[in-house]
């Protein structure tokens, strides 16, 4: 392919990605965490129509639909490789989006309006622009007519925003052989670090924290609200429990990727040491909350419940918490920390496990990681690549649990820092830069061809 043809092909993939992104936004597959929401069948149909456009001369694409609950459809598109020993590649995009508070939006959340170099809409950043780029890159391989050496699959997953029980999690359990989990890519990566000397660094997500949700329950004396004297008050007890839990300060991680991430900023030695030992995060500015989460087990009290009638002393109260362990930290570690913090109240508090999942992480080596680094270098020559952990969850954890590797991969313009991208997730007036859509489309096309030999 000559340079003009290559340029035209890149432009075609970018244009197709933008068009598909807008269609996916307009489908409004809002997941409110209930089984009947989402209705990702709309985007599954859109994706099938998108792949059908390649025509009769294209490579055959195997299409598989999965519907564990009415309307909750995931769809996989697979191009078989010519070499059974070649590395396969699976691109996990999700098609559901989180709810919106329409009164807080200044634009239609599902209008996919393009204005000022931006495309607005719920899910534009999380993660429909990546999903669209994945689909366009795989369709481009099919349209080329040249079979890849390694088998290539794109999956439009349902239900990622509700932890994948009707999406990738369901597929991993009920259709584990439908496609390969050996090498997976998903959200998010390719943003830039604000290095203190003005140089550049690119982010790749190598893992994510786990889940350790807990409910802490206490009991007290029931009675009439008019006569509280001498009662064992459940509300007062749960308030003290909440105070002690909020005061927990877990130790900072000593393991990678935290030290490498800190050193990538090129702070002065004193500031660097304050970050490595967790004594201050102020130097990181807008990134301090994310960075703290990346370097610690986090425990966030989020739900408090007690009582019904205002004139009745409740006999039960409970606190629910969103706990996120790092790789290597166990559920037993979380319980031990909670009991230590509760002190003399520990025997009066029932600890119930809710959703629990261990953290997952992939190595900074191997064929897929090396392909990511090489692809970044193609677009930003000589820029160092910095591994990070995601504070939240993604569908990649299911691939890692099945023995594969998984990385968050996208690409952003030089002015898009890690902080600016994180700030767009689940926000009002969510948008994605058109430049970032194009860069991500080009990057996926380049990485796919590099890795599976298309």
Residue 240: which CATH number? 3.30.70.360
Which of left, alpha, beta for 190 (phi over 0: left; psi -120 to 50: alpha)? left
State the average pLDDT for the chain: 95
The whole model's pTM is what?
0.92
Q: Is 202 inside a domain boundary?
A: no
For 278, the 3-state DSSP assignment is coil
Q: Do 352 and 370 belong to one domain?
A: no
264 and 184 together in one domain: no
Tens-digit pLDDT profile for residues 120-152 = 999 999 999 999 999 999 999 999 999 999 999
Q: Is the pLDDT of residue 4 over 50?
A: no
Cα 148 to Cα 82: distance, rounded to the nearest angstrom: 6
Number of domains in the chain: 2
Q: Which helix (H) or strand (E) holds 452?
A: helix 434-452
- My answer on whether 100 and 56 are in the same domain is yes
Query: Quick one: pLDDT band at residue 7, thresholds 50, 70, 90?
Result: low
Domain end point (choices 336, 357, 378):
357
Is-contact 94 157, C-beta < 8 A?
yes
Region 95-113: mean pLDDT is 96
Q: Is the pLDDT of residue 6 over 90?
A: no
Query: Which residue, 315, 342, 357, sits at the end of a domain?
Result: 357
The Cα 343–Cα 177 span in angstroms is 48
Give the N- to C-terminal CA distance of the chain in Å, as an integer: 13
CATH code, domain carrying 175 = 3.40.630.10
Q: Is it the case that residue 290 has pLDDT exceeding 50?
A: yes
Task: Give the list of residues 6+ apart from residue 26 with CB closer than 8 angstroms, or none.
Answer: 110, 111, 112, 121
Nearest to 437 by CA among 416, 451, 452: 416
Query: Percent of the chain scored above 70 by pLDDT?
Result: 97
Q: Is residue 284 part of a domain?
A: yes
Q: 87 with 157, same domain?
A: yes
Tell me what the mean pLDDT of segment 251-255 comes to: 94
pLDDT in tens, 45-88: 999 999 999 877 689 999 999 999 999 999 999 999 999 999 99
Q: Phi/psi of residue 386, each to 5°?
A: -115, 115
Cis peptide before 307 (omega within 30 of 0): no
426 pLDDT above the threshold of 90: no
What is the number of H-type helices and E-type strands within the chain?
13, 18
Find the helix packing angle between 129-144 and 41-52, rounded to 10°: 30
**Predicted pLDDT of residue 3:** 45
**Residue 5 pLDDT level (bands cut at 50, 70, 90):** low
- Co-location of 40 and 141 in the same domain: yes
Residue 166 has pLDDT above 90, yes or no: yes
Q: Which domain holds residue 260?
A: 210-357
């Amino acid at each position: 392919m000559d340079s003009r043809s290559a340029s035209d092909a890149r432009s075609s993939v970018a244009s197709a990605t933008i068009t598909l992104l807008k269609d996916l936004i307009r489908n409004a597959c809002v997941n409110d965490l209930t089984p009947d929401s989402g209705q990702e069948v709309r985007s599954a149909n859109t994706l099938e129509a998108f792949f059908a456009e390649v025509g009769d001369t294209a490579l055959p694409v195997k299409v598989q639909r999965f519907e564990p609950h009415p309307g909750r459809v995931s769809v996989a598109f697979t191009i078989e490789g010519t070499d059974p020993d070649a590395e396969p590649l699976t691109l996990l995009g999700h098609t559901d989006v989180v709810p919106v508070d329409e009164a807080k939006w200044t634009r239609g959340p599902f209008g996919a309006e393009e204005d000022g170099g931006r495309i607005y809409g719920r899910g534009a950043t999380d993660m429909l622009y990546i999903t669209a780029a994945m689909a366009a890159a795989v369709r481009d391989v099919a349209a080329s007519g040249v079979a890849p050496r390694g088998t290539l699959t794109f999956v439009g997953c349902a239900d990622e925003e509700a932890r994948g029980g009707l999406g990738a999690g369901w597929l991993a359990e009920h259709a584990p052989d439908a496609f390969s989990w050996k090498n997976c890519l998903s959200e998010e990566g390719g943003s830039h670090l604000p290095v203190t000397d003005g140089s550049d660094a690119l982010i790749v997500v190598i893992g994510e924290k786990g889940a350790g949700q807990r409910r802490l329950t206490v009991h007290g004396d029931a009675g009439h609200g008019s006569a509280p004297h001498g009662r064992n008050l459940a509300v007062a007890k749960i308030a003290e429990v909440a105070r002690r839990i909020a005061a927990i300060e877990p130790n900072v991680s000593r393991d990678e990727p935290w030290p490498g991430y800190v050193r990538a900023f090129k702070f002065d030695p004193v500031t660097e040491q304050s970050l490595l030992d967790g004594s201050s995060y102020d130097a990181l500015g807008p990134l301090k909350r994310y960075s703290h989460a990346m370097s610690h087990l986090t425990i966030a009290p989020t739900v408090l419940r007690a009582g019904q009638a205002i004139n009745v002393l409740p006999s039960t109260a409970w606190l629910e918490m969103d706990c996120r362990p790092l790789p290597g930290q166990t559920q037993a570690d979380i319980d031990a920390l909670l009991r230590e913090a509760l002190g003399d109240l520990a025997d009066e508090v029932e600890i119930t496990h809710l959703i629990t999942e261990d953290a997952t992480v992939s190595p900074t080596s191997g064929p897929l990681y090396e392909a990511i680094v090489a692809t970044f270098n193609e677009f930003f020559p000589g820029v160092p690549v910095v591994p990070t952990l995601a504070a939240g969850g993604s569908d990649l954890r299911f691939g890692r649990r099945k023995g594969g590797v998984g990385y968050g991969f996208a690409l952003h313009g030089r002015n898009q820092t890690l902080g600016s991208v994180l700030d767009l997730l689940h926000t009002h007036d969510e948008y994605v830069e058109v430049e970032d859509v194009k860069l991500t489309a080009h990057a996926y096309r380049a990485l796919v061809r590099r890795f599976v030999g298309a």
